[in-house]
Amino acid sequence: MTGRFDPAHRVKGKRITTIDIAPPPEIAPDQRPVTVPRPEEELEDQLVLEQRLYEESLKVLDEGQVLTGVIVAKYQDELLVDIGGKSEGILNFRELSLAIDPKELRVGDKLEVMIHRIDDQDGTLFLSERRARALKTWEKVIQAHEQDEVIEATVTQVVKGGVLVDLGMRGFVPASQIRRQPVGNLDELVGKHLRLKVIDLDHKRHRVVLSQRLVLEEELNQKKSELLGTLAVGQIREGVVVRLAEFGAFVDLGGIDGLIHNSELSYARIKHPSEVVKIGDVVQVEVMKFDPDAKKVSLSLKHALPDPWVEYAEKLVEGQHLVAGVVKVTPNYLLVEIIPGVLAMVPKGEFEPTAQYSPGQEVDVTILTVNHATRRITGSIQHVADIPPEELAEFAVDGEPVPIADALEAVPD
């Protein structure tokens, strides 16, 4: 056999190596030799590690990156913030959001910041807390809009047509979208918290328009639905007078406004609801009728009050001479109110037809009949002079007729 010995022979198609011919003896793990890297290998490994760390730092620290940093120094108008990776950035007070007071910040405090600029010359990092918050808030605003969620925000400034609120970014609430009723002085809202829903988004400019009125109306409709399910005719409900009109008063029952017509405000005849109630009064009212579909409720205040007929009718007797107020004038009869809520009819023939009577005028009336079953009383103006003086003296003061209130005081129970 000529040539160099090839330790790798092929036998029956298999490659044979020197290890196959003479396998090495088994060596215990603790007896194996330790490989010591050469100095040039150590240097090469260190350079590779530094290169990798440098590349990673370039990859992470980029403009627009949002990181959590720790304040390591505080100066007159800026902060030095450690954002990790042996990197520190400058955070000017101008880059803090309105919700943060620089005076309250301390070394060691954590802040979420954005790298908004890296100096091309020396690599200085300039940070912004308000931009980081705005970016994070914008994501929340989009989510709230998609899921129809309520956002809470504080009014920071009054501008033309509405107010600005701090969401972590600026949001605009038009004046018409603040409340269900018009807002008078918008300046009074500065510093107040609003509950809002997003009604418009400008993705390109990161602008958001919000509404509190939408939230209030949705809550009101929910309350209306719940209240309508529990209303029943004859119920006595507590409410608050919220509006007065010529024909009656509107009362908020806790989600639904019900109407008390003037005729249901008092047993006495009134010209305007202000004679009985004022805005803000808490009243007990009776439900007279309601329409669930139209969400209209008719109420009565007088039905929840003592009935003057029950209270005074037993004290009214035939022949009493009283002072009454004219309520209605017709050719055939007069209606007069002898006590608040109790009327008497003066039929034709019992008053002078040529006399001029008008509503509100006081007249002297003699009670002719009292029918407790029908609650009807008839009186006479003509017969006042026919009553014996000794009977008139019982209800007279210095010879003059007395008002009904005084007269009833003199009638024994």
CATH number at residue 200: 2.40.50.140
Which of helix, strand or coil describes residue 285?
strand
Q: Is residue 154 part of a domain?
A: yes
Integer CA distances (angstroms), 372 to 173, 300, 338, in order: 63, 23, 15
Do 344 and 397 fall within a single domain? yes
- Please give the structure tokens belonging to residue 124: 């200085």
- Please give the structure tokens belonging to residue 59: 């990859």
Do 313 and 406 fall within a single domain? yes
Q: What is the pLDDT of residues 156-208, one digit of tens each?
A: 999 999 999 988 788 999 999 999 888 888 999 999 999 999 999 888 887 89
Domain stop point among 247, 275, 304: 304
Domain stop point among 260, 276, 304: 304
Do 238 and 212 fall within a single domain? no
Q: Domain containing 108: what range?
A: 66-132
Contact between residue 296 and residue 290 where contact means Cβ atoms under 8 Å apart: yes
Do 83 and 176 fall within a single domain? no
Do 279 and 314 fall within a single domain? no
Q: Is residue 332 part of a domain?
A: yes
pTM of the model: 0.46
Q: Which residues of 214-236 are buried (b: 16+ CB within 10 A; e: fewer)?
A: bbbeeeeeeebeebbeebeeeee
Q: Is residue 102 part of a domain?
A: yes
Q: Is residue 37 part of a domain?
A: no
10 Å Cβ neighbour count for 208? 26
Domain stop point among 304, 321, 354: 304
10 Å Cβ neighbour count for 126? 18
Q: What is the pLDDT of residues 242-263, one digit of tens each?
A: 999 999 999 998 878 899 999 8
Q: Is the pLDDT of residue 9 over 60?
A: no
Q: Is residue 52 part of a domain?
A: no
232, amino acid identity: A
Name beta bridge partners: 135: none
Backbone Cα Rg of the chain: 46
Q: What is the pLDDT of residues 152-164, one digit of tens each?
A: 999 999 999 999 9
Q: Is residue 355 part of a domain?
A: yes
Do 98 and 165 fall within a single domain? no
> So what's the pLDDT on residue 408?
45
Do 294 and 381 fall within a single domain? no
Number of domains forming the structure of the chain: 4
Q: Is residue 394 part of a domain?
A: yes
Do 315 and 393 fall within a single domain? yes
- Please give the structure tokens belonging to residue 158: 């009054």
Q: Is residue 208 part of a domain?
A: yes
Do 379 and 406 fall within a single domain? yes
pLDDT over 90 percentage in the chain: 30
pLDDT over 70 percentage in the chain: 79
Contact between residue 121 and residue 100 where contact means Cβ atoms under 8 Å apart: no
Contact between residue 87 and residue 57 where contact means Cβ atoms under 8 Å apart: yes
Q: What is the pLDDT of residues 378-411, one digit of tens each?
A: 999 887 655 555 554 454 434 444 444 444 444 4
Do 262 and 202 fall within a single domain? no
Do 209 and 175 fall within a single domain? yes
Do 297 and 315 fall within a single domain? no
